[in-house]
């Protein structure tokens, strides 16, 4: 280099941290996704994100509930307890039929 890095970055209008930046490779989430699907099936499709997080922690995975929800949506996993049920409209009291 003819110029020091700091001077060269100043001339180009680039910060030194940008010059030295190296992108980190993304980890594959295939193992995590497989573990989520297995834990969900093992629970007979009853676990939601809270219980899945605990089950995966016992298996050695540290994962947020938001990430679990994303994976569950990806594989169309819906807990038996979160399915919407039909609720009949409220009938007002003292209203003539």
Domain range list for the chain = 25-82
What's the number of CA atoms in the CB half-sphere (13 Å) around residue 32? 17
At residue 76, the 3 state secondary structure works out as: coil
Is residue 1 over pLDDT 60?
Answer: no
pLDDT at 36: 97
pLDDT band at 89 (very low <50, low <70, confident <90, very high): confident
Mean pLDDT across 55-83:
94
47-57: per-residue pLDDT in tens?
999 999 999 99
Residues 43, 51: contact at Cβ < 8 Å? yes
At residue 25, the 3 state secondary structure works out as: coil
Q: What is the mean pLDDT of the chain?
A: 89
- Residue 12 CA to its chain's centroid (Å): 39
């Amino acid at each position: 280099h003819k110029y020091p890095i700091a001077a060269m970055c100043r001339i180009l209008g680039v910060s030194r941290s940008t010059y030295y930046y190296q992108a980190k490779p993304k980890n594959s989430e295939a193992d995590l996704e497989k573990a989520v699907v297995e834990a969900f099936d093992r629970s007979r499709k009853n676990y939601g994100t809270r219980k899945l997080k605990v089950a995966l922690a016992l298996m050695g995975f540290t994962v947020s509930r938001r990430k679990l929800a994303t994976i569950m949506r990806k594989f169309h996993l819906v807990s038996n307890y979160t399915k919407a049920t039909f609720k009949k409209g409220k009938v007002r009291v003292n209203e003539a039929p």
